[in-house]
């Protein structure tokens, strides 16, 4: 589904990613862990097509198509979803209007009929129950006045509405209390199936108690330095990232 | 950033959708302005003597006046001798049915998406359609007449209700008020007149569509709305104009008089031809709009969404004379390409316990310049007056400008004046967020701008709000921030 080859990227002139290789297949959950500044969020943003991040080398294919040929909205409609680390507020734009536009843009892209207002609201009710998001939130403007936890929940709600084939969760667990973490994780697990894949970007092993990854990758100084099964996460939690540095001989 | 500017550039380069000239026979007089021309206008309209006197007084005063230069605008020299001051469609007879109306005219309305017939049938909006200077068709008059409501062209009002005209004409905007008001007073050709009798609630939204149509014809509309004691009316004004190469002068006057406990809502969607993307052509819009809250506890609300005209000079204002009177000004002004707008309001508090609110949302794109200019004046006797002003500017791209010029004069110590102002840019992060959900940049900008303007759009009557939202989006197509 996703194939990243020898990816290099810069932010504000500074090299951040220095040769990433990663393959994600349908039905898999990948966790990308690593210390601050290792390039985790950069990777997420490059995949989504944020123009503040400049790709200098390498290739990414998504569903067999060159991702660099696609604008961010086309990538989204191809099924790539990014749950933002810091979701922005859009004052005056209601969640309903925002999501209705988003859902129908996806449908149009797939040559499907746009949803009627009634069908849309029905879908929204269904997905709201799935991620246990309060109706009060979805009646407000996009993320406006939401707490940190509410914003993250709202990201997962949008993911449920859009049903992506590849979901990238950028530190979705940060800022969540245990209850919210459980709800968010539960939502992600419910959405998981054999046709879609998930990339979890996180600092902590905690999230992986709830969403069990098939693969764990350690990102350090712009490269994936270690890949293994879920047990790697426990080892990291126990030994800290210094252990990786030592292993690398630093 | 570069990408964004490019996108903004593209979005703003869409051609004006309503640019066409309809081929209707027009009766015009020779171009130029002098006393003789004014006499001809008055004679053509078969006006009583007091009207001619009003016009001549205004003309003589205008000759001594100078065009105001304090606005943040670059206005080319206007040659008044090159302008035709009167043009009327030649078919002036009143029609029994739409079948008798010039089909070309009907097509014009259709192209604008405002079919008279449908408006009549479906929305219950009485439409007094003004093409160029003379009212061609007035609808719903009978329904209104049953309640004693007068809604007609200005010329008809002069003929049939000269007493009301004589009493109220120039009350809110005197003939010598300013350069453009004086010009309008001298040469105005037609417009709309509304009178709501005591204790009457107007059962429908009153609406007029203005359209500048004949070539080289300055349009000088005059609107007078009188709401008698305990009455209510909502008036809608909406405009689009056909595409032209040469600039067209438009100097309208709107007067509103609200008597005791009367309430007047005046909503405008303005979409005159703004000129092309290089700043060529477009309407010069120099408008004087003023309401007087003359009676106690009277209310006047100005709501407007402005996206058109090459140059806009416009300050819908209120004089709060009656004690406990209330006034609001809610405005969205969008400028793109080389458009220039200097708009705002004046709230003059004279009565006690008077309250005014100003919400101004400026949106600038392209190379445009968008200024808010507002005056809040509280007279010494206006005890406990209150004003709240909020002026926000939103910038798209880095080649446009936004300015705010608030003037506050308070003559007593019991009044409370608040002023808030913000300037923001459409965030790249907001656009990216929308993109990531599958929404194109163009749609994202439309959405974000509409969200920003929502507070004001929500004040518009329903059918206008929808139109206004579309207009904001269309006006920004090709221009991303």
Note whether A92 contacts B: Cβ–Cβ < 8 A: yes
Window from B62-71, B211-220, B237-246 with minimum mean pLDDT: B211-220
Q: Do residue B436 and residue A109 have CB atoms under 8 angstroms apart?
A: no
pLDDT at residue B385, as a whole number = 96
Q: Which of A76, A98, A141 sits opposite B435 (nearest CB)?
A: A76
**pTM for the structure as a whole:** 0.79
CB contact under 8 A, A101 and B428: no
Which residue among B428, B438, B455 sits closest to A76, beta carbon to beta carbon? Answer: B438
Q: How far is B448 from chain A (nearest CA, A)?
A: 7
Within 137-196 of A, beta carbons closer than 8 Å to B belong to 141, 158, 162
A52 reaches B (C-beta below 8 A) = yes
Find out whether B304 and B277 touch, Cβ atoms under 8 Å: no
Q: How much is the mean pLDDT over chain B?
A: 81
* B285: β partners: B250, B312
Comparison of pLDDT for B406 and B465, the residue scoring more: B406
Q: Is the pLDDT of residue B210 over 70?
A: no
Given a cut of 50, whether residue B448 has pLDDT beyond it is: yes
**Chain A partners of B432 at a C-beta cutoff of 8 Å?**
48, 50-51, 72
DSSP for B231-242, written as a single string: -EEEEEEEEE--
Could you say which of B4, B436, B455 has the minimum Cβ distance to residue A72? Answer: B436
For residue B407, pLDDT beyond 90:
yes
| Residue A111 lies inside a defined structural domain of this protein | no
Of residues B177 and B114, more confidently modeled = B177
In which residue ranges of chain A is pLDDT below 70? 250
Instruction: Map tokens 């909502």 to a residue.
Output: B234
pLDDT of residue B205: 82
* Structural domain containing residue A191: 2-89+164-247
What is the pLDDT, as a whole number, of residue B83? 79
Q: Of A181 and B17, which is predicted with more confidence?
A: A181
* Nearest chain B alpha carbon to A83: B436
Task: Confirm or reject contact between A93 and chain B (CB < 8 A).
Answer: yes
The model's confidence at residue B479, banded by pLDDT at 50, 70 and 90, is low
Is the predicted pLDDT of residue B284 greater than 80, yes or no? yes
Structural tokens at position B28: 């015009």
The confidence score (pLDDT) of residue A139 equals 84
Residue range B233-271, pLDDT digits in tens: 999 887 554 445 455 788 899 999 999 999 999 998 887
Q: Number of folded domains in chain A? A: 1
Q: Cα–Cα distances in Å, from B191 out to A126, B129, B141? A: 54, 10, 16
pLDDT greater at residue B204 or residue B13:
B204
Q: What are phi and psi of B408, to 5 degrees?
A: -130, 125
Cβ pair A92:B455 closer than 8 A: yes
pLDDT more than 70, % of chain B: 77
Instruction: Give the least confident one: A58-72, A173-187, B76-90, B104-118.
Output: B104-118
- Mean pLDDT score, B147-161: 90
Query: What pLDDT score was predicted for residue B6?
Result: 53
Q: What is the CATH number for A228?
A: 3.40.50.300
Count the helices and strands in chain B (H runs, E runs).
Answer: 12, 23
A130 part of a folded domain: no
The rounded distance, in Å, linking the Cα atoms of B61 and B480 is 46
Lowest mean per-residue pLDDT among A186-200, B212-226, B430-444: B212-226
With respect to residue A128, please indicate whether it lies within any of the assigned structural domains. no
Residue B209 has pLDDT above 70, yes or no: no
Nearest CA of chain A to the CA of B320: how many Å? 31
Interface check for A136 against chain B (CB to CB < 8 A): the answer is no
pLDDT number for residue B481: 42
A120 in a structural domain: no
**N- to C-terminal Cα separation, chain A:** 35
| A108 contacts chain B (CB < 8 A) | no
Q: Among A196-205, B87-96, B255-264, B431-440, name the one with the lowest average pLDDT.
A: B87-96
Which of B427, B436, B443 shows the shortest C-beta gap to A82?
B436
Question: Has residue A129 been placed in a domain?
Answer: no
A13 close to B (CB below 8 A): no
- Over residues B285-289, mean pLDDT: 93
**Which pLDDT band, with edges at 50, 70 and 90, does B133 fall under?**
very low
Question: Is the confidence at residue B212, as pLDDT, over 70?
Answer: no
Question: Is residue A148 included in any domain, yes or no?
Answer: no
Residue B429 distance to chain A (closest CA, Å): 7
Is A75 within a domain? yes
Residue A147 forms part of a structural domain:
no
Whether the Cβ atoms of residue A176 and residue A152 lie closer than 8 Å to each other? yes
CB A58 within 8 A of CB A233: no
Q: Which pLDDT belongs to residue A26? A: 95
Residue B117 pLDDT: 46
Which two structure tokens, joined as six digits, stand for B49? 């003597």
- Among A44, A54, A71, A73, the strongest candidate for a mutation testing the B interface, having the largest count of B CBs within 10 A, is A73
Q: Are the beta carbons of A48 and B436 separated by less than 8 Å?
A: yes
CA dist., res. B294 & res. B259, Å (int):
5
Q: Which whole number is the average pLDDT over B219-224?
A: 87
Count of residues making up chain B: 481
């Amino acid at each position: 589904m996703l194939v990243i080859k020898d990816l290099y990227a810069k932010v504000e002139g500074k090299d951040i990613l220095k040769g990433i290789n990663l393959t994600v297949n349908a039905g898999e959950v990948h966790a990308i862990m690593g210390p601050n500044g290792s390039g985790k969020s950069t990777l997420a943003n490059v995949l989504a097509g944020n123009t503040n991040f400049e790709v200098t080398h390498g290739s990414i294919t998504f569903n067999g198509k060159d991702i660099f040929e696609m604008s961010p909205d086309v990538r989204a409609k191809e099924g790539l979803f990014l749950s933002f680390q810091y979701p922005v507020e859009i004052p005056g734009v209601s969640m309903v209007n925002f999501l209705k536009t988003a859902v129908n843009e996806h449908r149009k892209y797939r040559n499907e009929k746009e949803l009627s207002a009634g069908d849309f609201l029905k879908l929204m009710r269904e997905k709201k129950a799935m991620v246990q998001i309060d109706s009060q939130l979805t009646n407000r403007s996009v993320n406006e006045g939401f707490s940190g936890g509410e914003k993250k929940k709202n990201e997962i709600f949008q993911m449920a509405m859009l049903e992506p084939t590849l979901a990238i969760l950028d530190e979705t667990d940060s800022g969540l209390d245990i209850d919210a973490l459980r709800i968010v994780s539960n939502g992600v697990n419910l959405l998981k199936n054999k046709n879609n894949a998930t990339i979890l970007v996180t600092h902590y092993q905690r999230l992986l108690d709830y969403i069990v990854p098939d693969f764990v990758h350690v990102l350090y100084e712009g490269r994936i330095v270690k890949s293994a099964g879920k047990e790697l996460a426990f080892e990291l939690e126990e030994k800290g990232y210094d252990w990786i540095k030592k292993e690398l001989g630093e | 950033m570069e990408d964004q500017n490019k996108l903004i550039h593209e979005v703003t380069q869409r051609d004006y959708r309503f640019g066409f000239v309809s081929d209707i026979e027009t009766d015009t007089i020779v171009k130029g302005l002098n006393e003789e021309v004014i006499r001809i206008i008055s004679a053509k309209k078969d006006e009583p003597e007091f009207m001619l006197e009003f016009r001549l007084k205004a003309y003589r005063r205008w000759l001594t006046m100078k065009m105001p230069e304090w606005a943040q605008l670059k206005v080319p020299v206007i040659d008044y001798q090159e302008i035709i001051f009167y043009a009327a469609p030649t078919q002036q007879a009143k029609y029994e049915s739409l079948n008798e109306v010039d089909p070309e005219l009907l097509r014009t309305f259709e192209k604008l998406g405002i079919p008279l017939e449908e408006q009549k049938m479906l929305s219950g909006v009485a439409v007094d359609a003004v093409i160029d200077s003379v009212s061609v068709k007035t609808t719903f008059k009978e329904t209104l007449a049953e309640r004693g409501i007068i809604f007609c062209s200005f010329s008809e009002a002069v003929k049939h209700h000269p007493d009301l005209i004589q009493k109220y004409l120039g009350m809110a905007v005197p003939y010598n008020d300013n350069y453009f008001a004086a010009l309008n007073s001298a040469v105005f050709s037609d417009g709309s007149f509304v009178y709501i009798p005591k204790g009457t609630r107007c059962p429908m939204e009153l609406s007029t569509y203005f359209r500048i149509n004949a070539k080289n014809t300055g349009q000088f509309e005059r609107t007078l709305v009188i709401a008698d004691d305990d009455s209510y009316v909502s008036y809608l004004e909406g405009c689009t104009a056909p595409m032209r190469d040469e600039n067209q002068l438009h100097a309208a006057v709107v007067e509103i008089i609200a008597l005791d406990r009367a309430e007047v809502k005046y909503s405008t969607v303005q979409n005159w031809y703004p000129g092309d993307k290089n700043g060529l052509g477009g309407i010069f819009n120099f408008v004087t709009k003023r309401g007087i809250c003359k009676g106690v506890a009277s209310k006047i609300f100005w709501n407007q969404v402005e996206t058109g005209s090459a140059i806009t000079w416009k300050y819908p204002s209120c004089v709060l004379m009656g004690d406990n009177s209330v006034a609001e000004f809610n405005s969205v002004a969008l400028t793109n390409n080389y458009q220039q707008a200097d708009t705002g309001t004046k709230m003059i508090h004279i009565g006690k316990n008077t309250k005014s609110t100003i919400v101004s949302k400026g949106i600038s794109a392209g190379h445009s310049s968008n200024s808010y200019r507002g005056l809040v004046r509280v007279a010494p006797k206006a005890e406990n007056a209150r004003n709240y002003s909020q002026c926000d500017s939103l910038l798209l791209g880095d080649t446009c400008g936004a300015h705010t010029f608030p003037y506050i004069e308070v003559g007593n110590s019991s009044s409370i004046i608040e002023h808030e102002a913000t300037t923001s840019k459409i965030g790249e992060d907001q656009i990216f967020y929308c993109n990531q959900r599958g929404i194109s940049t163009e749609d994202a900008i439309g959405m974000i701008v509409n969200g920003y303007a929502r507070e004001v759009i929500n004040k518009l009557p329903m059918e206008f709000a929808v139109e206004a939202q579309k207009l904001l989006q269309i006006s920004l197509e090709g221009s991303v921030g």
